[in-house]
Structure formats: structure tokens, C-alpha cells
Amino acid sequence: MGDDMTNDVHEHEIEDVSREEAEAIEQQATEVPFDADKAARLETIRQMALSGELEYSDESEEIVEALIETIGQRDENFGRFQSMAAEHQNYQRRAAMNENEARISARQGVVQALIPLLDHFEMALMQDPEKVSAKDVIAGVEMIRSEFVRMLSGYGVSAIEPKVGDEFDPGPHAAMMQQSAEGVEPGHISLVMGIGYKLGDRVIRPAKVGVAPDESSDNGEGEG
């Protein structure tokens, strides 16, 4: 009879432990203090349930089956998580490599376009200064400039070239000074000091201009 009582107590303890495990599974999403000893004990129970070493009463059979099923789902989800994490790391690595390769390719394209300009400079410097006139030098500079402009246009760069009398636009134009000019209305460009450039629709450098002042307001201030 003593053995029967011992078995009953043992089965009762296993049943209580199994219920405790079930409650722990239901409370996974709640914020509870981490207990390392308890976590180790629960993991031992999980492993025993999976291996069939866990002893339990008939009343606890459904709880243990639910536990085993939950463990299987956990392991499956964890495997998917590991796979997704590995795929994400590979994606990040490939994206970084592609970004770096794109930067190198862009720089290479610019350098390849500039090299012919260097060849023109080398040819110009090889000329005998005793035999080259100022007119020839200017013609050579104009040729190099045209080649440079052509190269920039291939990258979508265009010049901003305002004319005297054009209305001042603070986007593509930078007012360097106020200066009156005959026939130029106030708020319009009276002097072009330097052309600007834009890449597509984005202004890289505005054109430097002088703007005709509002003469009526100046006169009004003087009369006061």
C-alpha cells in the first residue's frame, strides 16, 4: 500500500507540474520577471515530454499532448525565424555590395569621361610656345571647353545662362549686387556675372547676376 501511495503522490506532482507548464505557455506574451532556474526546469520538462520520458496521469494526457504540440510549433517558428534572419542578412550583404558597386561604376564613368580632356591638355602643353599664337591658344581652350560641356551634358548637366533684362528668379539666380541699367526694369537682371549649372531640374550652382533696384522706392525714401 505504501508503494501505491508513493505512486499516487508522484503522479499528483507530475500533474501539477504539467499544469504549471500549460499556464506558463499561456502567459508567454505577458511581462513577468525572468527566473533562470524555472526556465531551466521547464525546458527539462519539455525535453522529457518530447522524448516520452515524462510520466503523467491519465487526467494530464491532453495537457501533455498540447505541450508537445506547442513545442513543435515553437521549434517550427524558430526555424522559420532563423531562415528569415539568414535571408535578411544575405539581402543586406547583397544590397551593400550592389550599392558599393554602383558607386564605383558611377565614379568610373566620370573618370573615363574626364580622361579625354586630360589628353587635350597634354596635347596643348606639348606645343612649342614659340610657334603658337594667342589665337591658337584661345581656339584650343574653346575646343576643350566644348568637349567638357558635351561630357557634362551626357550626365544631365545643363547651363543656366540668363540674359540682361530677364526677370530675376531666386531659384536659378543668385543676386550678387544691385545695379541699375538702362532699359532694365526693377527686379530684372541688369548684369550677368557668371553662368550657373543644374543637374536635371536640380540647381547645382545658380547663375551670379546683378539686379536692377526698385528706383521708385529709393526716390520715395529720399523725399521723406
Number of structural domains the chain divides into: 2
Helix axes 36-51, 2-26, angle to 10 degrees: 110
The pLDDT, as a whole number, for residue 15 is 46
Q: How far apart, in whole angstroms, are the C-alpha atoms of residue 189 and residue 186?
A: 8
Instruction: Among 60, 89, 118, identify where a domain stops.
Output: 89
pLDDT-derived band of residue 124, with 50, 70 and 90 as boundaries?
A: confident
Q: How far is CA 46 from CA 19, 32, 51, 64, 73, in A?
A: 13, 20, 9, 9, 13
Domain C-terminal end among 44, 69, 89:
89
pLDDT in tens, 10-49: 444 444 445 566 566 556 545 556 678 877 877 887 788 7
Confidence class for position 58, pLDDT limits 50, 70, 90: confident
Q: Is residue 11 part of a domain?
A: yes
Residue 102 scores a pLDDT above 70: yes
Among 89, 104, 137, the domain-final residue is: 89
184-194 pLDDT per residue, tens = 999 999 999 99
| 83 — pLDDT class (breaks 50, 70, 90) | very high
Residue 140 within any structural domain of the chain: no
- Looking at residue 24, what is its pLDDT? 60
Task: Say what the pLDDT of residue 12 is.
Answer: 45
Structural domain of 17: 2-89
